[in-house]
Amino acid sequence: MGTRNPDGTYTVTDHEIAAFHRDGFVHLSGLLSEDEVAELEVVYDRFLRREIEVPGKDYCDMAGDYGRDPSDYSIVNVMLPSRYYPTWRGNVLEQRALSVATQLQGAGMQIDYDQLLAKQPFKDDAVFAWHQDMAYWPDTPDTRTATIWCAIDDSTVENGCMRFVPLTNGEGRLRRHEPVFGGRGASHALGTVLEPDDEVVTVPIKRGDCTVHNEQVMHGSGGNTTAGFRRAYIVACRSRDTIKTERELGFTHSHNDGIEVLEEVGVTGETR
């Protein structure tokens, strides 16, 4: 099992590194301490209460279209929270995430974007469609990615924990993806479908744990049938050159990016 270090890093074991490259994902225990999670969730909940302003489509529902009333959101999605709350930049999760990403994917990794995903209580439809992350992003020569998905609450089967299809990262292709709730102007969500031979692995994790996945592995999550939230804080790391290319294209991972930019990513899921 990996270990937290006093200097803000996290040491990943050789076994965990091998699992990440074999399966496309890995579960890391204890990425954050209880005190560290408690400090982060104070700001997290300010976003949920809308005390921190998030403009336009960067505050939305990933289980519905942009026209849905916020009072009825099933998966509250906050894109780029550190853009809208700059004090968060360099926080303990960002430090640990970058440490983990460098061990898993090598030199030159940087933080590309961050995101909050909170499944509201008793929302059976809080389903995140099956997808591969590269379907959402522009094609670049260096696709190395380590997306750190940190649990702010215990993440269980009942409240919609992460699910993966191991080995899809080795298929060498993107599956066909389509908009889930209309075109990219109506909703950000893209989805694909399971194939007959796909094996689904469900990964419940504890508060303060994380999963880390790469750009190719297929993943999603189910609805929340419980009385509590299922909150996650995501920090995605990609290579320095890839981030530079994205920004030159006008792609920042904001849902407010130009529609012409969003429509140039892997919507059809063709092989890259």
pLDDT at residue 184 tops 90: no
pLDDT of residue 261: 87
- Please answer whether residues 153 and 201 qualify as being in contact, where contact means their C-beta atoms are separated by less than 8 angstroms: no
Asked whether residue 72 is assigned to any structural domain, the reply reads yes
For residue 268, is it within any domain?
no
The residues pairing with 130 across neighbouring beta strands, listed in sequence order, are none
* 195 falls within a domain: yes
**Does residue 268 carry a pLDDT above 80?**
no
pLDDT band, very low/low/confident/very high, at 254 (cuts 50, 70, 90): very high
Provide the CATH number for the domain around residue 204.
Answer: 2.60.120.620
Q: Is 269 within the bounds of a domain? A: no
Read off the amino acid at residue 185.
G
Q: What is the mean pLDDT of the chain?
A: 95
For range 60-70, the mean pLDDT: 93
Share of the chain above pLDDT 90, in %: 88
**What values do phi and psi take at 191, rounded to 5?**
-150, 155
- Within a domain: residue 50? yes
Return the amino acid letter for 258: G
Q: How confident is the model over 8-61, as pLDDT tens digits?
A: 999 999 999 999 999 999 999 999 999 999 999 999 999 999 999 999 999 999
Let me know if 1 is exposed, middle or buried by CB neighbors in 10 A (0-12, 13-18, 19+).
exposed
For residue 271, is it within any domain?
Answer: no
| 18, 9, 251, 71: CA torsion to nearest 10 | 100
173 part of a folded domain: yes
Confirm if 214 and 222 have CB atoms less than 8 A apart. no
Sign of CA dihedral 17, 23, 25, 27: negative
Q: Domain residues for 8?
A: 3-262
The whole-model pTM stands at: 0.95
20 within a domain of the structure (yes/no): yes
What does the chain come to in residues?
Answer: 272
Q: What are phi and psi of 39, to 5 degrees?
A: -70, -40
Structure tokens at 166: 């191991």
Q: How many domains does the chain have?
A: 1
